Amino acid sequence: MQRPEYAMEVRLLELLVCPICKGPLEYLRPPLQEQPELVCRADRLAFPVRDGIPVMLEGEARSLDDAPTASTP
């Protein structure tokens, strides 16, 4: 059975879109990475989630181009 807070989280994620392009967001959280983030693949930006609250401000977003990837030697 799903935890109630997880069910609400899924419903919230279905409503959230990238504030720049209005595209879909992917929720990445531990153990996949250290800090939870909402990622827009189209704009290559990661928006932080602090204390369970998404910070959907362009100025707070991290560029995915700055991050090392698995394919980078």
pLDDT at 71: 43
Position 58 scores a pLDDT of 95
* pLDDT given at position 16: 93
Q: What CA–CA distance (Å, rounded) separates 64 from 14?
A: 22
* pLDDT averaged over every residue in the chain: 82
pLDDT score of 66: 76
Measure the CA–CA gap between 45 and 66, rounded to whole angstroms: 10
Class of domain 27-66: mainly beta
How much is the pLDDT for 37?
93
